Chains A and B, each alone.
Chain A
Amino acid sequence: MTADGRTPLTDYSEDGVDLTLIRWFLSLTPAERLQFNQEHIDDIRAILALNAPR
Chain B
Amino acid sequence: MTQKHLILIILFVIVLVAIAAFFIPGSTHKAGIAPPATVYNRSADNTSIEKPCSNDHPEWRPAQVIEGVTIDAAPSCEPDNPYDIATSVKGTNNVSMATLMQTNLAQDALTMTDDLDKDGDPDVIRIKLEVVELNGASPDGEFLINTFAIAPGIQPGLWVYAPKSRGMAVKNFNSVVANPLLRAPSPVIRVEQGDKVYITLENSHYLPHTIHLHGVDHPWLTAKGEDNDGMEEHAVYPGKSHTYEIQPRHAGTMLYHCHVQTAQHLMMGLSGMFIVEENQPNNWLQTFNIGAGQVRHPSVAVKKTYSQEYDLHYQSVDKKLAQIIQNANDPRLIAQKMTRDYNMTESFENYFMLNGHSFPFTLRDAMITADENENIKLHIANLQRSSIALHTHGHKATVIALDGVDQPAGMQITRDVFDIAPAQRTDVLLQTKNDGLHSYGPGLWMFHDHVPTGTTTDGMEPGGNIAILAYKSYLDEQGMPKMHDELFDQVFNKDYYAKKQAVWGVGDFAPLLGDAGLIAPNYLQIIIFGLVTGLIIGLLVFLVLVYNRKQKQ
Whether A associates with B in a native complex is no
Which B residues are within 8 Å of any A CB, using their own CB? none
Q: Write the residues of chain A forming the contact surface with B, with a CB cutoff of 8 angstroms.
A: none
